[in-house]
Structure 1
Amino acid sequence: MDLRHLLAHEVAAGIIATGIEGAYDAVSCSTAGNYPSMGVSQWEGGRGDNLLSWIDGGRKFIGRTYSDIVNSGELDELRAVLDSEQGRAAQIEILAADCIDYVDALMPYISDSKCVIYAGMWCPTSTNVVRFFVRNRRNWGYDVNNLSALADVFAEEYYVAAAVGNAYRQGYANRARATYNYLAEHDIDWGMLDV
């Protein structure tokens, strides 16, 4: 397995282990509109429909609004579909492919493997926002190759870059600390993964 795939594997494992995006059976209403945001990576819209197309029983939820699913009493059914053995396998496979994209987006700006993984674990929120955030902070003199410093800047400034306002400030700060704690305690031979 090459470095990109090793890093992508670690990003996916971290997203699932921490539950920072949600559990396999997570379903909520998207903040961007009245449609479901689902699973361990909060897939929504066309990406959510793609996930559902991989799972037996998922097709009946494709293209439906969140309100329609709730009002029809089918929310628990959707959660069960996502949490099924097939639903979990589909989420892992799709997330692994997504994480390759995350790693590719970050490696031009970060050389430390743990920091690539850290920033990669934020990419489900928006790969472009995370990439520009890391690039800009690096260009502004922040040490994006120091895990503690990277976690601090995500905790203090990511909510501004994501343009979500003060309402999400504490949530993003909590996520920054949880992600840092996971990686700080994660036991891997990082010397083998240095970029």
Structure 2
Amino acid sequence: MISIIDYGAGNLKSVNHALNKLGFEAEIISSKEKINQSTALILPGVGAFEDAMNQLRDLDLVDCIKDNVQAGKPILGICLGMQLFYEKSYENGEWEGLGLLEGEVVRFGDQLKVPHMGWNNLIPGPNFDAQNGIGTGIEQKDYTYFVHSYYVKPKNREEVVLGSDYGIEFPAVVQKNNIYGMQFHPEKSSEVGMTLLKNFGELIT
């Protein structure tokens, strides 16, 4: 069972629908018990970094998520959910994240129109493999749908599977061991997004 974590900040139904369409068993949950019982986790997210972390703390889910990930359970962060994996964000202040990955979240420069919204192509990164893993079947010409004003600056560039370019190249897909992140919305990214969700689902079955 793939548990989609409901903490009031995500496109839960669309992600759940996409997974069900692909034939994966998924459910929207918000309890530690359900997280512990799941075979994999998805942390979606839309909104502000500070609010999202506060909501996770209010639900007492922070340590539960960390414990499950440290035990080896696969987790996928989508959009803001991916950003929450990192140590720190500078969105309207300075806020501590989950610290599952090393790096920080920063704003696109003032010379760029924000948010970065719409379709943008994917660029193979150091950790890209078109034959295996999360990037299976993805090509450089493929496009996905982004909506974000902040992007990740990872400490370890070798964790970048796919990037994209919006005046500056930034991570679009990251992976370290059982931790996966997608800056774009795969559930809104047509066949390419469905392929990436399928890859994640197949990695945990």
Query: What interval of TM-score do these two structures reach, taking the shorter chain for normalisation?
Result: under 0.3
Which of the two has greater helix per residue?
1
Give the TM-score normalised by the residue count of structure 1.
Answer: 0.24
Larger proportion of strand: 2
TM norm structure 2: 0.24
Which of the pair has the greater relative contact order for Cα pairs under 8 Å at 6+ separation? 1
